[in-house]
Amino acid sequence: MISKDDVVTGSCDKLFPGDAIEAFYKDTLVHRGPVTGTVREDGVFWILDTLTGARRLLDLSEFKIVRLPARYREVLVTAPRP
């Protein structure tokens, strides 16, 4: 769910390492985590996905990218143990 504090971005120019993002595909959250790097000229960027624990390369043309407010930038990167 996108709140009024969230910023939808369509450009890697507005993403920086450490920014917390959520990626939606057809209005379904599929990835969440901090940005670790960008390739601005190609419109792609890397995140450390906190939903799966894996590093992901995301393409801005495939997802709706929401940059979360600063209070969400410190996200857990380890999954809880059973």
77 band by pLDDT with thresholds 50, 70 and 90: very low
Q: How far apart (Å, rounded) are the C-alpha atoms in residues 82 and 3?
A: 31
Assess if residue 25 is contained within a domain: yes
CATH number at residue 35: 2.30.30.520
Q: What is the percentage of the chain residues whose pLDDT exceeds 90?
A: 48
pLDDT value at 3 more than 80:
no
Q: How many domains does the chain have?
A: 1
Assess if residue 1 is contained within a domain: no
Query: What is the mean predicted confidence (pLDDT) over 29-48?
Result: 92
Structural domain for 38, as ranges: 7-70
pLDDT of residue 5: 55
Between strands 64-67 and 55-59, the pairing is unpaired
Between the two ends of the chain, the Cα-to-Cα distance in Å is: 27
Q: Which of 7-21, 38-52, 66-80 has the lowest mean pLDDT?
A: 66-80
Query: Taking the complete model, does pTM exceed 0.85, yes or no?
Result: no
Q: Are 30 and 23 in contact (CB under 8 A)?
A: yes
Assess if residue 75 is contained within a domain: no
Half-sphere exposure of 71 (CA within 13 A, CB side): 2
